[in-house]
Chain A
């Protein structure tokens, strides 16, 4: 059973950067894209983009282009999401997620436990 394990909660100042990790267990790390989704308090989820763990290729939602970077380290089956120039409205729980094999690639059935990022001024 594949699991995604994320790094712990972070508290950052406005203008700083945060890097969240997501480690995949099991032997299918390179077989599925990993997506990042964030959820601000009391709001619905928001898709940020994906990374192809095999090639390192990425696609970011237009809103995040220029200030998010998704990378991977295949030697430890881990992907990273770094968000720069943090603002208070970036306070949210950040999730990594993997698509369901039977869907078109946009339905996520495996999620990390979430990483709370709090941005203070």
Chain B
């Protein structure tokens, strides 16, 4: 079901920088932009980053995105307790002709 691969978990102490990777293929990340979502338990996903590195209004600049080849990365700088959530990457897939999502990474603040 999930076409993009993410590590199942990541963690850090408050203030640390936590990177999250997302691996895809030439039909999705390799040829299209990447978006990132944050999801708290029992709620809908929240758009965190779009078009690789753009933040919607209201999203702190602690969150940043990047892309290289068929992989992408989200970085959380200055980790805070409220950042504890599930994070999903997503990208348009030319084969599906629609967006595909990642497997998800659970971020824990130690």
Residues of chain A having any CB pair with chain B under 8 Å: 40, 43-47, 49, 59, 61-62, 95, 97, 100, 102-104, 106-109, 111-114
- State how many angstroms separate the Cβ of A36 from the closest Cβ of chain B: 11
Complex contact A102–B45 (CB within 8 A): no
Q: Is B100 engaged at the interface, CB distance under 8 Å to the other chain?
A: yes
Size band of the B side of the interface?
20 to 34
Complex contact B101–A45 (CB within 8 A): yes
User: With A43-B1, A44-B1 in contact, do A100 and B47 touch (Cβ < 8 Å)?
Assistant: yes
User: With A40-B1, A43-B2 in contact, do A106 and B92 touch (Cβ < 8 Å)?
Assistant: yes
Complex contact B35–A107 (CB within 8 A): yes
Complex contact B56–A100 (CB within 8 A): yes
Kindly count the residue-residue contacts between A and B in the assembled complex, taking CB atoms under 8 Å apart: 72
Complex contact B45–A45 (CB within 8 A): yes
**What's the dominant secondary structure at chain B's contact region?**
strand
Nearest neighbor of A89 in chain B, beta-carbon distance: B1
Complex contact B50–A103 (CB within 8 A): yes
Complex contact B88–A44 (CB within 8 A): yes
Nearest neighbor of A62 in chain B, beta-carbon distance: B96
With a cutoff of 8 Å between Cβ atoms, the chain B residues found around residue A108 in the complex are 45, 47
With a cutoff of 8 Å between Cβ atoms, the chain B residues found around residue A111 in the complex are 44-46
Q: Which of A46, A59, A104, A112 contacts B51 (CB 8 A)?
A: A104
With a cutoff of 8 Å between Cβ atoms, the chain A residues found around residue B96 in the complex are 47, 61-62
Complex contact B47–A109 (CB within 8 A): yes
User: With A104-B92, A114-B44 in contact, do A44 and B51 touch (Cβ < 8 Å)?
Assistant: no
CA A59 to CA B33, docked complex, whole Å? 21
Q: Is B97 engaged at the interface, CB distance under 8 Å to the other chain?
A: yes
With a cutoff of 8 Å between Cβ atoms, the chain B residues found around residue A104 in the complex are 33, 51, 92
- State how many angstroms separate the Cβ of B25 from the closest Cβ of chain A: 16
With a cutoff of 8 Å between Cβ atoms, the chain B residues found around residue A44 in the complex are 1-2, 88, 101-104
